[in-house]
């Protein structure tokens, strides 16, 4: 059996991160605790998550970790740059990134960082005269919560006419992953073409905007948080008479099933995950409690890590339920570290059930 390929089409950003004790009020100026830059963009983050969670930690990182006396989770050490290691383990999936960066230093760093994680970047275009996308991130240290402002830059140039011809020609990818940080018309075009070609699609509708109903028809996987669900499912009637919270989540999933989505996964932050499948092979729903976390440091990349881990799970045949369980574990490890891509764990950083280990090694 050939190794599955996951193609991620989306944004690449440089994160400008400020850490503060609390968020400022309107009109208020605060003195922050620290400032740093990092690699990000939901597309790039999800590609890195797919790559890392499909292979074991590189030996160069293991050597660094063996010198550490930390008793916390074994994650990428703070201060270790992405370019200082190269994955050396056989992955369970191949990962391809499609997107655009500017002709500046940020763009070069982003591409180098993806390649150091084993991601194919031949379809990441460099746009002359344009800046790389940026994200201004404010992290409240007391809670680990964040607020983010995005400037698209080169991401706005990911339009249908610039997509690589090879995207929809054999060999086709096992799964396409999309977000909404590139032009919406591009997202709609890709989903429509993928449906015609029989390529499964995972849509993570962030940042959330209202989408035409045809986007959902036949969509295999919809992964979204509560805020995004409120935007996309605004105005639906909550008719369930069961437990109020689970009843509301059930009705949200039913709304998207009626539009044609097969698997709906609602991430609930500290409350875990609620998922529901309309397919006969899954035919169930479940609330998965949040994983235990020692300390929430930064939630920036939690959602993207969840998407990447879930994608690896379904692409390798784990099934939706098992993929959700493992993605929940992976996201919990991410929030215990600072940063976006920097905080994403490798496969052996996340405890794997025996059934998962057997499937991954088989």
Residues marked active site are found at 304
Provide the token pair at 344: 């994403």
Phi-psi region of 286 (alpha: psi -120 to 50; beta: other; left: phi over 0): beta
Nearest Cα residue to 309 out of 277, 270, 349, 336: 349
As a whole number of angstroms, the distance between CA 337 and CA 344 comes to 8
As a whole number of angstroms, the distance between CA 183 and CA 319 comes to 31
Parallel, antiparallel, or unpaired: how do β-strands 133-140 and 146-151 relate?
antiparallel
Provide the token pair at 144: 């680990």
In Å, what is the CA distance from 8 to each residue of 13, 36, 95, 309?
Answer: 14, 26, 7, 13
Q: Are 340 and 301 in contact (CB under 8 A)?
A: yes
Nearest Cα residue to 163 out of 193, 137, 143: 193
Phi-psi region of 82 (alpha: psi -120 to 50; beta: other; left: phi over 0): alpha
Cis upstream peptide for 171 (omega within 30°): yes
Nearest Cα residue to 101 out of 112, 117, 89: 112
**Sheet of strand 146-151: strand arrangement:** 34-40, 13-20, 133-140, 146-151
User: What angle is formed at CA 125 by the lines to CA 123 and CA 126, rounded to 5 degrees?
Assistant: 155
């Amino acid at each position: 059996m050939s190794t599955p390929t996951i193609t991620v089409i989306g944004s690449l950003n440089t994160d400008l991160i400020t850490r503060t004790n609390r968020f400022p009020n309107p009109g208020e100026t605060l003195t922050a605790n620290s400032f740093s830059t990092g690699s990000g963009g939901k597309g790039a983050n999800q590609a890195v998550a797919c790559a890392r969670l499909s292979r074991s930690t590189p030996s160069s990182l293991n050597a660094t970790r063996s010198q550490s006396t930390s008793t916390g989770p074994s994650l990428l050490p703070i201060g270790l740059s992405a370019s200082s290691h190269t994955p050396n383990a056989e992955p369970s999936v191949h990962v391809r990134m499609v997107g655009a960066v500017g002709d500046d230093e940020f763009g070069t760093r982003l591409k180098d960082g993806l390649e150091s994680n084993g991601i194919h970047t031949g379809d990441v275009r460099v746009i002359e005269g344009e800046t790389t996308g940026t994200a201004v991130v404010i992290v409240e240290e007391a809670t680990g919560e964040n607020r983010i402002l995005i400037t698209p830059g080169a991401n706005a140039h990911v339009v249908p006419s610039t997509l690589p011809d090879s995207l929809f020609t054999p060999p086709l990818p096992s799964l396409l992953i999309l977000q909404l940080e590139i032009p919406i018309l591009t997202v709609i075009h890709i989903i429509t073409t993928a449906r015609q070609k029989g390529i499964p699609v995972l849509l993570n509708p962030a940042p959330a905007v209202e989408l035409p109903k045809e986007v959902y028809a036949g969509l295999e996987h919809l992964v979204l948080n509560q805020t995004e669900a409120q935007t996309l499912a605004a105005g639906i009637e909550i008719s369930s008479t069961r437990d109020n919270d689970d009843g509301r989540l059930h009705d949200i999933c039913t709304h998207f099933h009626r539009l044609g989505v097969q698997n709906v996964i609602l991430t609930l932050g500290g409350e875990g995950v609620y998922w529901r499948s309309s397919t006969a092979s899954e035919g169930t729903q479940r609330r998965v409690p949040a994983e235990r976390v020692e300390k929430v440091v930064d939630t920036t990349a939690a959602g993207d890590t969840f998407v990447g881990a879930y994608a690896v799970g379904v692409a390798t045949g784990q099934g939706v339920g098992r993929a959700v369980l493992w993605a929940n574990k992976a996201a919990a490890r991410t929030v215990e570290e600072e940063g976006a891509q920097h905080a994403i764990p490798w496969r052996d950083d996340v405890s794997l059930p025996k059934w998962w280990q057997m499937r991954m090694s088989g």
